[in-house]
A and B are shown apart, each in its own frame.
Chain A
Amino acid sequence: MIKHIQVMLTALAIAVSGSTLAQPRREQPPAGPAPVNAAGRVLLQGADPSDKGTWTPVFGILDPITPYEQIPFQPWSKALYDYRQTRELEPHTRCKASGTARQFLTPYGVEFVELQDLQQIIIFDIGGPHTFRIIYMDGREHPQDWQHTYYGHSVGRWEGNTLVVDSVGFTEQFWLDRRGMPHTDQLHTIERFTRTNKNTMEYRITIDDPATYTKTFDGGFNLRWNQGEELFEYVCQQANYATELMVGAGAESVDRSSNIVP
């Protein structure tokens, strides 16, 4: 049964990554400079409405965002991480919205939409949960009575051409990256998005969770611009049998005794 699930999950993972090969990628334009707004600040979208595009990771499906030997685990989190390598019961596969780095590690990618009049940047997922994440750009603080959620509460500001986003208030029902880095609801992250040229965005994340790690540390990878691509509908639950396979009554089903999923 375990073997069956592992085979199924591997097949799912391959199917998901394989779809990037099946879908013809438009040619990237030459790596010219990143588009800028009237004030000269880099845009995370296209130069104008005809210049559409999405961002996908330049990353191997099983690459860790931080090399294993550099992750400052506590003993319990190292044990959990190692356990996750054997079972691969990632919540993302059963459609949980997975925040932090995981949000940007889907084959279909995301779009950043900057809304000046609302003072928000909204990140729209194509794959995974097909949901949205609001980054408040109006200088507000994190609220005291925040109900913890998959994407947390995010406030952002520009430091030159880098979007810096500070987030707290996460639930524990997801993995930080595809390899299974753990966290608790004390997690605090600082993400830095830097578009270095038309085709490349650097993503760096500082992970600050004193309940899980012995010190703060960084991880990251790059995103590539897919010229001409647009958001399209993807619904994780359509023909998804992973939810039933992973939530059963048997010995291999997901352990429900802890808030922190295995």
Chain B
Amino acid sequence: MQRTKFKSAIGASVLVAALGLVSAPLLAQPAVHAKFDPASEMSISGIVTYVDWKNPRAHVFVNVRDGSSVTNWAVELESPLVLRGSGWSAGSVKPGDQVDVKGLRARDGSRQIWSESMTVAGSPVFTLKDLAPAVPAQKAPAPRGSDGKILLGAASGYWGFPSEHALVEDGVEVDVDNYGQLANLADAGKVAPLQPWALALYRHRQERNLRDDPMFINCKPPGGPRQYQSDLGFKFVEDKANQRIFVMIGSGNRNYRIIYMDGRAQVGSVTGDDDNPLYYGRAQGKWEGDTLVVNTRGFNEDFWLTNGGLPHTGSLVLSERFTRTDMNTLQYEVEIEDSGAYTRPWKASWTMQWVPDQEVPIFFCQDNRP
């Protein structure tokens, strides 16, 4: 799997050092650069007035003195889910604390700053940690059920931390960040075999720094392979008695979808719903040896197929292969067929990591509004 990836494009190594950044985990969040300008670094200092410890992003409000005037700034931070894993808690920063913040200015000129760390007077800088669990040197084999089939889920544990956060055709090398934002717009045509109209739309979404992403603005679901490219991950619940597999999705609206294993036709299950196109499509699966093979069709067009905004049409058909190669690794391969948006079928693949002993993180996009 050849690809060049750069971690969060906050940019210059000097700034990385100053903020104490490790990797910036993606948690199905709006792209930072949609709202904040990576070319516009700034600092503020002041007294905390309020801490809003909520998904999708925590905010710390700071009174900044400039001569005789005081203005209130909003410091935007990662989700509490990420901050907690890095040692923050709701009480780490409190009203009355003196803080110094380095980060990026909001593009619209409002008094907002994006920061991944903060100095509280007398306390060390908090830094974001990479939350992916350590992979054991000796990997155990994939567990099997009493029917001999590999188990894709367990009572606790989920699949997260994909090896790739942006979907790019296998064999293509482009410089793209964890939100799917290309470093070079000229690379757009390389990402996938896009038809001209689809390439134009993809470029348009990229040029606007992904700010139109319906998954964040309107909490539209992550249909298609996007649901497997969030650190928030997903889990399988195998309901073998009823011949179905539930996919419980950690990002977006914490939806579930169903892979039917009973060979049914891919039509609607509600009278009159036969051709109603869906966000998650209609999925039918079967085992081929140790690989779960899933065919999904019947998608609507009301979502972005990938992080970064590759388009699709209602003609989309996905052929997916899930192989748990060992206890800790899920190999995922997808073939995308969409004669409406692409010039030919094309494939992409990556792996997911098993996160043991934890439930899929509880995240709801709906928390983005009161």
- Seen from chain A, the residues whose Cβ lies within 8 Å of a Cβ on chain B are 23-24, 49, 52, 94-97, 113, 115, 117-120, 122, 124, 129-132, 134, 138, 147, 149-150, 173, 230-233, 235-238, 243, 247, 254-256, 261
**Are B271 and A231 neighbours in the complex by a CB distance under 8 Å?**
no
**Are B221 and A122 neighbours in the complex by a CB distance under 8 Å?**
no
* Chain B neighbourhood of A130, CB < 8 A: 253, 255-256
State in angstroms the CA–CA spacing of A131 and B360 once bound together.
Answer: 13
State in angstroms the CA–CA spacing of A47 and B268 once bound together.
Answer: 24
Summarize B's interface: helix, strand, loop or mixed: loop
**Are B302 and A150 neighbours in the complex by a CB distance under 8 Å?**
no
B279 at the interface (CB under 8 A from A): yes
**Are A233 and B253 neighbours in the complex by a CB distance under 8 Å?**
no
**Are B269 and A94 neighbours in the complex by a CB distance under 8 Å?**
no
Select A97's contact among B254, B257, B272, B279, beta carbons within 8 Å.
Answer: B254
- Seen from chain B, the residues whose Cβ lies within 8 Å of a Cβ on chain A are 80, 84, 154-155, 218-221, 237, 239, 241-243, 246, 248, 253-258, 268-273, 278-280, 302, 359, 362, 364, 366-367, 369-370
Please give me the residue from chain B that is nearest to A255 by CB atom.
B370
- Nearest Cβ on chain B to A49's Cβ, whole angstroms: 5
Select B269's contact among A117, A124, A230, A256, beta carbons within 8 Å.
Answer: A230
**Are A118 and B370 neighbours in the complex by a CB distance under 8 Å?**
no
**Are A233 and B280 neighbours in the complex by a CB distance under 8 Å?**
yes
Select B155's contact among A49, A119, A131, beta carbons within 8 Å.
Answer: A119
* Chain A neighbourhood of B246, CB < 8 A: 113, 122, 124, 132
* Chain A neighbourhood of B369, CB < 8 A: 94, 243, 247
Question: A113-B239, A131-B254, A243-B369 known; A24 and B218 CB under 8 Å?
Answer: no
- Nearest Cβ on chain B to A239's Cβ, whole angstroms: 9
**Are B220 and A237 neighbours in the complex by a CB distance under 8 Å?**
yes
Please give me the residue from chain A that is nearest to B302 by CB atom.
A238
State in angstroms the CA–CA spacing of A115 and B145 once bound together.
Answer: 14
Select A49's contact among B241, B273, B279, beta carbons within 8 Å.
Answer: B241
- Nearest Cβ on chain A to B79's Cβ, whole angstroms: 11
Select A232's contact among B269, B302, B364, beta carbons within 8 Å.
Answer: B269
Select B257's contact among A23, A24, A52, A233, beta carbons within 8 Å.
Answer: A233
**Are A129 and B366 neighbours in the complex by a CB distance under 8 Å?**
yes
Select B253's contact among A131, A173, A243, beta carbons within 8 Å.
Answer: A131
* Chain B neighbourhood of A118, CB < 8 A: 154-155, 237
* Chain B neighbourhood of A24, CB < 8 A: 271
Please give me the residue from chain A that is nearest to B256 by CB atom.
A132
**Are B237 and A129 neighbours in the complex by a CB distance under 8 Å?**
no
State in angstroms the CA–CA spacing of A120 and B155 once bound together.
Answer: 8
**Are A49 and B364 neighbours in the complex by a CB distance under 8 Å?**
no
**Are B248 and A132 neighbours in the complex by a CB distance under 8 Å?**
yes
18 pairs of residues in contact across A and B, judged by CB atoms under 8 Å: A95-B253, A96-B364, A97-B364, A118-B237, A122-B237, A122-B246, A129-B254, A131-B253, A132-B246, A147-B84, A147-B362, A150-B364, A231-B258, A232-B269, A232-B270, A233-B257, A238-B279, A256-B370
State in angstroms the CA–CA spacing of A113 and B243 once bound together.
Answer: 12
* Chain B neighbourhood of A52, CB < 8 A: 242
* Chain A neighbourhood of B237, CB < 8 A: 115, 118, 122
Question: A97-B364, A147-B362 known; A237 and B219 CB under 8 Å?
Answer: yes
